[in-house]
């Protein structure tokens, strides 16, 4: 599988632009080292369709994050252009990326996920849904977590301890997305479960211990702000239930090729799936490459594996 | 089992590096820097207004006539000829300066760092305006001070607040202020307040750091005397050519008493030995031709005035009721205050999505205040872009207000 022409799509116009470019450069360098003809394309810099017609790739590596890159938009465009790409197909991307949809899919599939309520921006504006906010809170309870339905890297997410702070948190989340999720706060160990290829090809579980207590944007992208343990310090039995929940989530959401599922494990050992990422970070501080490394897989081998997975789809 | 450390030096860093972290706002600014986003965020001077052929001629002249000096290490204090020119620039604003009292720095920003270095021990109290220039907060912040924030009104720093703090027994190491068209608030300290401040600080024996990057960018009204000219002994004055010529040459300076000058020079030499000889010579030459530099400065003032007018007009037209903003008589910035419910930091993502950017107010306070404030810069975008940007922002703020009302049930 050498000598392919691969366009690495990275950058874009989302707040994760910088993260995407950092990962994209890293991937491009590795693909070149693997003997491919790889180049980086930033859709914020060039007209993507023209760029892909000009220098026709055999494969697009999707290193974009957030809307545009993970919500199925670019995947649909590439389907139309008949260019194959890494990772999950368009419709499944849409499911996984939108927490409003993803959480329903998970619940229907019997995958544990914290109870939640959806607050739609338009329903607030046009239907007076603000009046139902207290009802939402009665169901979810305090403390709770408020997050945008469609955003990555914990952007726009906040923990709410007091009822008075809920409205502000919802407004903050709605700045990133048309809908907000108010989710029950589960206290426990944060775990990132990555896979390459299919759901059966799990990477070691990564345990996340943010030094500031919260795994927010700063804790994710400041080297040293978070401690990681690989494999996670879980009992073998608990680790297996986490892997089981992860597999079910990956299958329910139709994720393929590469992905990461974020899970919380309570003190009793019960896993709860928070979200799934179809385009996990590839920077030096990212979880998936870390897990791969713990499994004895170099970054280049990881890249190679992801490309091969595309052909098995 | 392995503990993965992404940064193997993590336990080695100094405490002062603790605040140097990734942030959502920085991530959003990476998108805001795209050309399709109208950025009202950055305070970038309008360097396109500089006569480039003249700059090229001056640079060529410097390299032709003084190449050996220009490419060599220079004087830690800055070349004597440049310090004379800078004294001349200060005289424009009524500050009488002995060139021996001038220390040339890499932008006034380095002067802030050096001031922090020679005055602040960890835990020391320093008085700053609230809001204050964010670059001063980050420069001082590295020396781990505690802050005494003094609020501003339309007449600048509310000196009574400082007075009350002194009565309470607080004793700041110095008072930092940008008295002319301050960043971010755009307000100018009134003459009475200046008198009040210098008197209070003189009596208390507390030095004042007067940072004056924008003083020569006055669009209207009469200049107010500099603090330094009101009390030369107790005021350390900072200047820069970033706004009158070019920020790219990185030439700023401090004017101070001999004892402070000596320490500043030693601190400067410890930091970088000396400034760029090439840039110092270039700057000195630029300001040697009075017609040239005055003509350029007048052109800049005219351009900034038109842009300020464009912004004030657009704000009148597009901002919702309840929004308040300052009317700067010079400088780069307008400071917008929204009702308390607005979280400007949270809204930035939606703003960038609408292709407009600003700086959320919290950046300018050491204590988390300013959530409902926005700094808008009119210095860089064209008048047309300013109109469009403010119109986008206005629409967003209206929707946010509607959202807020609906959340109140």
| Range of weakest confidence among A283-287, B3-7, B332-336 | B3-7
- Residue B325: φ, ψ to 5°: -150, 160
Q: Which residues in A lie closer than 8 A to residue B404 (C-beta atoms)?
A: 167, 171
Q: State chain B's mean pLDDT as an integer.
A: 94
Residue B28's pLDDT is what?
81
3-state secondary structure chain B: CEEECCCCCCCCCCHHHHHCCCCHHHHHHHHHCCCCCEECCCCCCCHHHCCHHHHHHHHHHHHHHHHHHHCCCCCCCCCHHHHHHHHHHHHCCCCCCCHHHEEEEEHHHHHHHHHHHHHCCCCCEEEEEECCCHHHHHHHHCCCCEEEEEEEECCEECHHHHHHHHHCCCCCCCEEECCCCCCCCCCCCCHHHHHHHHHHHHHHCCCEEEECCCCCCECCCCCCCCHHHHCCCCEEEEEECCCCCCCCCCEEEEECCHHHHHHHHHHHHHHHCCCCHHHHHHHHHHCCCHHHHHHHHHHHHHHHHHHHHHHHHHHHHHCCCCCEECCCCECCEEEEECCCCCCHHHHHHHHHHCCEECEEHHHHCCCCCCCCEEEEECCCCCHHHHHHHHHHHHHHHHHHHHHHHHHCC
Contact A228 B5 (CB under 8 A): yes
Residue B46's pLDDT is what?
95
Residues in chain B: 409
- Residue A273: φ, ψ to 5°: -80, 125
Which stretches of chain B sit within 8 Å of chain A by CB? 1-7, 9-10, 13, 20-24, 27-28, 30-31, 34, 36, 341, 343, 346-350, 352, 399-400, 402-404, 406-409
A260 in catalytic set: yes
Inter-chain Cβ pairs, chain A and chain B, closer than 8 A:
119
Contact of B321 with B338, CB cutoff 8 Å: no
Q: E strand or H helix at A40, and its extent?
A: strand A37-41
- Count the neighbouring beta carbons within 10 Å of the beta carbon of residue A47: 10
DSSP per position, A227-294 = EEEES-S--HHHHHHHHHHHHHHHHHHT--EEEEEEEEE-TT--EEEEEEESS---STT-HHHHHHHH
What is the rounded CA–CA span in Å between residue B215 and residue B225?
10
* DSSP at A204: P
Residue A56 three-state SS: coil
**The pTM is what?**
0.91
Strands B251-255 and B235-240: antiparallel
What is the rounded CA–CA span in Å between residue B72 and residue B37?
41
What is the rounded CA–CA span in Å between residue B94 and residue B225?
7
In angstroms, what separates the C-alpha of A170 from chain B's closest C-alpha?
9
Strands (E), A103-202: 116-120, 144-148, 158-160, 179-184, 189-197
Question: What percent of chain B has pLDDT above 90?
Answer: 88
**Which residue's entry shows tokens 């959806």?**
A118
Residue B231's pLDDT is what?
97
Contact A171 B22 (CB under 8 A): no
Residue B30's pLDDT is what?
81
Give the model's confidence band at B23: pLDDT under 50 very low, under 70 low, under 90 confident, else very high: confident
Give the model's confidence band at B219: pLDDT under 50 very low, under 70 low, under 90 confident, else very high: very high
- pLDDT for residue B366 is more than 70: yes
Which residue among A131, A156, A230 sits closest to B4, beta carbon to beta carbon?
A230
Give the model's confidence band at A15: pLDDT under 50 very low, under 70 low, under 90 confident, else very high: confident
| Closest CA relative to residue B174, chosen from B92, B56, B256, B73 | B256
- β-partners of residue A265 are A189, A271
Q: Which residues in A lie closer than 8 A to residue B349 (C-beta atoms)?
A: 15, 155-156, 175-176
Convert the pLDDT of each residue in A32-67 to its tens digit.
Answer: 999 999 999 999 999 999 999 999 999 999 999 988
A128 touches chain B (CB under 8 A): yes
- pLDDT for residue A312 is more than 60: no
Q: State chain A's mean pLDDT as an integer.
A: 92
| Closest CA relative to residue A69, chosen from A102, A47, A97 | A97
A168 touches chain B (CB under 8 A): yes
Search chain A and give the residue with CA nearest B396: A175
Contact of B118 with B256, CB cutoff 8 Å: no
A277 in catalytic set: yes
Which residue among A175, A221, A294 sits closest to B349, beta carbon to beta carbon?
A175
| Closest CA relative to residue B300, chosen from B52, B90, B46, B89 | B46
In angstroms, what separates the C-alpha of B183 from chain A's closest C-alpha?
26
- Count the neighbouring beta carbons within 10 Å of the beta carbon of residue B36: 8
Contact A176 B23 (CB under 8 A): no
Search chain A and give the residue with CA nearest B13: A224
Residues in chain A: 313
Contact of A12 with A22, CB cutoff 8 Å: no
> What distances in angstroms separate CA A89 from CA A9, A75, A179, A259, A260, one per listed residue?
16, 7, 23, 12, 15
| Closest CA relative to residue B95, chosen from B188, B225, B243 | B225
- pLDDT for residue A148 is more than 60: yes
Strands B373-377 and B333-337: antiparallel
Residue A219's pLDDT is what?
85
Convert the pLDDT of each residue in B49-86 to its tens digit.
Answer: 999 999 999 999 999 999 999 999 999 999 999 999 99
Contact B22 A170 (CB under 8 A): no
Which of A16, A70, A183, A190 is catalytic? The answer is: A16
| Closest CA relative to residue B211, chosen from B332, B111, B284 | B111
A116 touches chain B (CB under 8 A): no
What is the rounded CA–CA span in Å between residue B166 and residue B178?
21
Convert the pLDDT of each residue in B159-170 to its tens digit.
Answer: 999 999 999 999
Which pair of structure tokens corresponds to residue A70?
């993970």
A28 touches chain B (CB under 8 A): no
Convert the pLDDT of each residue in B177-188 to its tens digit.
Answer: 999 999 999 999
Question: What percent of chain A has pLDDT above 90?
Answer: 76
A233 touches chain B (CB under 8 A): yes
* DSSP at A203: P
- pLDDT for residue A223 is more than 90: no
Q: Which residues in B lie closer than 8 A to residue A223 (C-beta atoms)?
A: 6-7, 10
A262 in catalytic set: yes
- pLDDT for residue B3 is more than 80: no
What is the rounded CA–CA span in Å between residue A84 and residue B50?
50
Mean of pLDDT values over B126-135 = 97
What is the rounded CA–CA span in Å between residue B24 and residue B184?
20
A190 touches chain B (CB under 8 A): no
Contact A217 B408 (CB under 8 A): no
In angstroms, what separates the C-alpha of B268 from chain A's closest C-alpha?
30
Which of A153, A177, A272, A279 is catalytic? The answer is: A153
Could you give the ipTM of this predicted complex? 0.84
Interface test with B, best of A224, A281, A288, A291 (most B CBs within 10 A): A224
Convert the pLDDT of each residue in A76-118 to its tens digit.
Answer: 999 999 999 999 999 999 999 999 999 999 999 999 999 999 9
């Amino acid at each position: 599988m050498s000598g392919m022409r691969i366009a690495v799509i990275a950058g874009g116009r989302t707040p994760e632009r910088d993260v995407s470019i950092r990962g994209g450069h890293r991937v491009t360098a590795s693909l070149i080292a693997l003997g491919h003809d790889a180049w980086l394309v930033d859709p914020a810099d060039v007209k993507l369709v023209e760029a892909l017609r000009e220098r026709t790739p055999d494969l697009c590596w999707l290193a974009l994050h957030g809307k545009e890159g993970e919500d199925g938009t670019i995947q649909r465009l590439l389907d139309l252009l008949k260019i194959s790409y890494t990772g999950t197909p368009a419709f499944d991307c849409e499911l996984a990326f939108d927490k409003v949809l993803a959480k329903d899919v998970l619940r229907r599939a019997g995958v544990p996920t914290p109870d939640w309520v959806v607050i739609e921006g338009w329903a607030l504006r046009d239907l007076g849904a603000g009046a139902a906010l207290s009802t939402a809170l009665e169901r979810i309870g305090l403390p709770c977590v408020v997050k945008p339905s469609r955003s990555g890297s914990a952007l726009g997410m906040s923990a709410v301890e007091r009822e008075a702070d809920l409205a502000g948190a919802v407004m903050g989340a709605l700045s990133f997305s048309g809908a907000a999720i108010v989710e029950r706060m589960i206290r426990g160990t944060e775990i990132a479960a990555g896979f390459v290829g299919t759901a059966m090809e799990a990477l070691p579980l990564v345990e996340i211990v943010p030094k500031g207590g919260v795994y927010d944007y700063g804790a994710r992208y400041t080297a040293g702000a978070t401690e990681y343990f690989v494999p996670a310090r879980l009992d073998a039995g608990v680790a297996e239930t986490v892997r089981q929940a992860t597999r079910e989530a990956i299958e329910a959401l139709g994720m393929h090729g590469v992905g990461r599922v974020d899970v919380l494990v309570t003190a009793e050992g019960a896993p709860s799936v928070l979200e799934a990422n179809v385009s996990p970070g590839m920077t030096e501080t990212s979880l998936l490459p870390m897990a791969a490394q713990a499994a004895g897989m170099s970054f280049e081998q990881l890249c190679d594996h992801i490309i091969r997975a595309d052909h098995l789809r | 089992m392995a503990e993965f450390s992404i940064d193997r030096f993590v336990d080695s860093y100094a405490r002062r590096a603790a605040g140097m972290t990734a942030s959502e706002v920085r991530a959003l600014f990476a998108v805001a820097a795209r050309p399709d986003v109208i950025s009202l965020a950055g305070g970038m001077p309008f360097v396109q207004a500089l006569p480039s052929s003249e700059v090229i001629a001056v640079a060529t002249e410097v390299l032709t006539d003084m190449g050996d000096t220009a490419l060599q290490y220079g004087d830690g204090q800055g070349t004597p000829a440049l310090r004379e020119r800078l004294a001349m620039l200060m005289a424009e604003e009524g500050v009488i300066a002995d060139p021996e009292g001038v220390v040339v720095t890499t932008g006034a920003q380095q002067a802030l760092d050096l001031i922090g270095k020679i005055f602040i021990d960890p835990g020391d109290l320093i008085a700053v305006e609230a809001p204050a220039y964010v670059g001063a907060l980050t420069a001082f912040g590295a020396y781990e001070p505690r802050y005494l924030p003094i609020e501003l009104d339309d007449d600048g720093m509310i000196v009574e607040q400082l007075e009350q703090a002194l009565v309470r027994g607080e004793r700041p190491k110095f008072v930092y202020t940008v008295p002319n068209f301050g960043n971010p608030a755009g307000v100018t300290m009134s003459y009475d307040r200046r008198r009040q401040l210098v008197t209070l600080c003189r009596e208390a024996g507390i030095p004042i750091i007067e940072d004056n990057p924008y003083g020569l960018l006055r669009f209207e009204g009469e200049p107010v005397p500099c603090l330094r000219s009101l009390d030369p002994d107790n005021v350390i004055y900072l200047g820069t050519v970033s706004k009158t010529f070019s920020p790219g040459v990185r030439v700023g300076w401090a004017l101070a008493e001999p004892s402070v000058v000596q320490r500043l020079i030693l601190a400067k030499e410890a930091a970088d030995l000396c400034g760029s000889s090439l840039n110092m010579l270039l700057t000195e030459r630029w300001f040697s031709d009075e017609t040239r530099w005055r003509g350029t400065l007048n052109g800049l003032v005219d351009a900034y005035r038109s842009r300020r007018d464009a912004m004030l007009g657009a704000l009148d037209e597009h901002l919702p009721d309840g929004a308040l903003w300052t009317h700067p008589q010079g400088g780069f910035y307008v400071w917008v205050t929204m009702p308390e419910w607005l979280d400007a930091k949270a809204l930035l993502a939606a703003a960038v999505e609408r292709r407009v950017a600003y700086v959320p107010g919290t950046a300018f306070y050491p204590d988390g205040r300013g959530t409902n404030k926005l700094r808008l810069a009119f210095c860089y975008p064209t008048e047309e872009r300013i109109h469009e940007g403010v119109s986008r922002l206005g629409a967003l703020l209206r929707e946010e207000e509607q959202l807020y009302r609906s959340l109140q049930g």
